[in-house]
Structure 1
Amino acid sequence: MLEHAGLARSAPDSARFGLDVWRATRLDGDPLPALLASAADVAIYRLPVGASQQVRALAGLGFEVIDAGVLVYYTVDLQRRVPHAPANADVDISPATPADDDALAALVDASFGGYASHYFANPLFAPELALAGYREWALAHRGGARTASWVARRAGRIVAFACCEADAAAGIANGGIYGVLPSEAGSGLFGDLIRHTQRHYRALGFAEMRMSTKVDNFAVQKVWAREGYHLYAAYDTLHVNAMLGAPGVPTVSRGYAAGALRDQADGWPLPVGDIATLLADACGAPVQLDSLAQLPLAVPDARRAHRLELRQGWAASGGRRRANAWLRDDAGRACALVQAGFRT
């Protein structure tokens, strides 16, 4: 797996969304070198709530940073907590089989169609692809070495499911994804699934079971609390839309002769107006710059010619658009990365 100072490439997300998506659960010092080394389009950071200095470090880069919500984590001591009896005596819960895949996929769509996961906060991620990711995730749990899935049937019809992952060496089971048919909401089925998976891993000798969800998903947290879980951690989810690779995004460029960038004011290696001109050329209409941030990477060598390459704009939050511009010399050395926010 590719990794740069805590950033690791997410192959499933990258394949699903057609962008280079990376993830991190820590931030080691200055985030810029790892971002540049990864050439990430989107970097998803999960950082402990309250890590304000780390959040400021990301915001200070000039990239679009999206607050995609807070994830909360719950845990229960399986050996001390004895699960209650199920509330639905007429429901049969059994391991999922390949024959259940179609019904399980449809149930994921029905139960997660309205769930605003962190992906939905990012305009670069199509909502229908995010939902497809939940289907893939649920189906991938069946029959794995570390994973398991169950379906709940009432009168022979699948009405709920549960998917878990377990670390036998650590003695910790993780509730991955649970869902209940909307028409069965309020029947106690979700609680029955929680108890069933608790009993399963308790019988196997596991010491602990964990769950996680977005902080605003109050209903499931109420059930977890009733089943003996308690809150133990919370993480901010931050999306950095760097678009450093931006596959399929067209580019426009202009060149600078040797010496042309010698004496720009305020430390900028190129005139601000050139960015606006390139954006207008790319869009075929005048543009209004809302923000402009430069990340200096190397001092331009006045003896060399340079080229400014701008990736045309992509959708951003708030109805705006974003664009990247790289300044490189004729030896291919990157001298600056400019992030522009604009409207047409």
Structure 2
Amino acid sequence: MSWRESVLTPGLTVRDSPLDGERFGVGVTRVTVSATSTAGLEEVLAVARDSTADVVVLRYPAGNVTWFAGLRAVPGRAAIFADTLTYWRLRVGGGRRPAPSEEIAVVAEPDPDMVADLMATGFAGYANHYAANPLFDPALSAVAYPDWACRSAKSGHAIAVHDGRGPLGAITWERDDDRVELLLAAVAPAARGRAVYPRLIAAVEDRASELGADFLVSPTQGHNIAGQRAWARYGFEPAHPLATVHLVRSELL
């Protein structure tokens, strides 16, 4: 899932998810209707009817509030509402940065295992869209975050901050055209209250500026109010919400 797929891609994006298949032992296909897509409900229903996947993870503009009733009528599939994903956006250079601190330093290429450990702690118990679906084991879902973060760190797309005694937090990111997208972030429990998260965002904003990107973008589940408040304080604005629905083969439930 990316800003490009969620906002810019015309038509429908349909792709299999082998990582989900390996992790959960069921076939998963992801279907996304972007903000600029002209695809209608009938086109989405046709994809769902023709799919052989066990689970179709569908995301579409949340303003299409009438769609869910139609999705419930797909033959042979149960529709499970799985929260809303909201994208936020900030023009690079417009962030409200925290005051500098001589005690906290940025690590441009942190150890991948350290990044993974921070994410495992930070995302423990986090209710992502998989949690809505009884086919997906919550314990296996939780492993996805540290695995993803480790891959990002190994590719050079992670930043951490520390105070000389140990890591305080880490954040992962990726570049796509004129944007840098924030992927995952976690703050060590003992470091909360020290403005670690805005320092992580500021470090990525610096990296985005170096790369010549125009915007930072970041998505989160609609229920993650704490994260969205932090983005609002930093200067982000809400940009695009997507409803998430799992269309599951009925006999599997």
CA shift in 2, pair 1:82/1:113, >3 Å = closer
| Partner residue, 2:213 | 206
Kindly report which structure 2 residues correspond to 1:310-329, keeping only aligned pairs within 5 A, or say none. Answer: 314=252, 322=253
- Shift, 1:185, TM fit: 1.8
Q: Check if 1:134 corresponds to 2:121.
A: no
- In structure 1, what is the Cα distance between the partners aligned to 2:173 and 2:99? 19
CA offsets 1:88-111 (integer angstroms, 9 cap, x no match): 4312221234xx233222211110
- In structure 2, what is the Cα distance between the partners aligned to 1:107 and 1:186? 16
Q: Check if 1:224 corresponds to 2:237.
A: no
The one of 142, 161, 166 aligned to 2:170: 161
| Partner residue, 1:48 | 61
Q: Check if 1:39 corresponds to 2:52.
A: yes
CA shift in 2, pair 1:241/1:88, >3 Å = farther
CA offsets 1:205-231 (integer angstroms, 9 cap, x no match): 211110111112111111111211101
| Partner residue, 2:185 | 178
Gaps of 5+ in 1: 244-312, 315-321, 323-344
| Contact 1:87/1:188 (8 A) holds in 2 | no
| Partner residue, 1:288 | none
CA shift in 2, pair 1:206/1:32, >3 Å = closer
| Partner residue, 2:8 | none
Identity of counterpart residues, as a percentage?
A: 26
Deviates further, 51-60 or 18-27: 51-60
| Partner residue, 1:189 | 196
- In structure 1, what is the Cα distance between the partners aligned to 2:225 and 2:184? 16
- What letter is aligned with 2:135? L
| Partner residue, 2:123 | 112
Q: Check if 1:24 corresponds to 2:31.
A: yes
- What letter is aligned with 1:72? T
Gaps of 5+ in 2: 1-11, 34-38
- Shift, 1:181, TM fit: 1.2
- In structure 1, what is the Cα distance between the partners aligned to 2:65 and 2:95? 39
| Contact 1:122/1:239 (8 A) holds in 2 | yes
| Contact 2:178/2:214 (8 A) holds in 1 | yes
| Contact 2:115/2:153 (8 A) holds in 1 | no
Structure showing the higher helix proportion among its residues: 2
| Contact 2:49/2:74 (8 A) holds in 1 | no
- In structure 1, what is the Cα distance between the partners aligned to 2:154 and 2:113? 16
C-alpha root-mean-square deviation of aligned residues, in Å?
2.2
Paired residue secondary structure (2:63): coil
| Partner residue, 1:58 | 71
CA offsets 1:266-291 (integer angstroms, 9 cap, x no match): xxxxxxxxxxxxxxxxxxxxxxxxxx
Return the index of the structure with the highest Cα Rg: 1
- Shift, 1:148, TM fit: 1.0
| Contact 1:166/1:172 (8 A) holds in 2 | yes
CA offsets 1:110-149 (integer angstroms, 9 cap, x no match): 10002111111111111111111111110111243xx610
- What letter is aligned with 1:65? A
Across the two proteins, how many residue pairs are aligned to each other? Answer: 236
- Shift, 1:86, TM fit: 4.4
- What letter is aligned with 1:154? D
| Partner residue, 2:84 | 70
- Shift, 1:183, TM fit: 2.2
Q: Check if 1:93 corresponds to 2:106.
A: yes
Structure with the larger RCO, 1 or 2 (CA within 8 Å, 6+ apart): 2
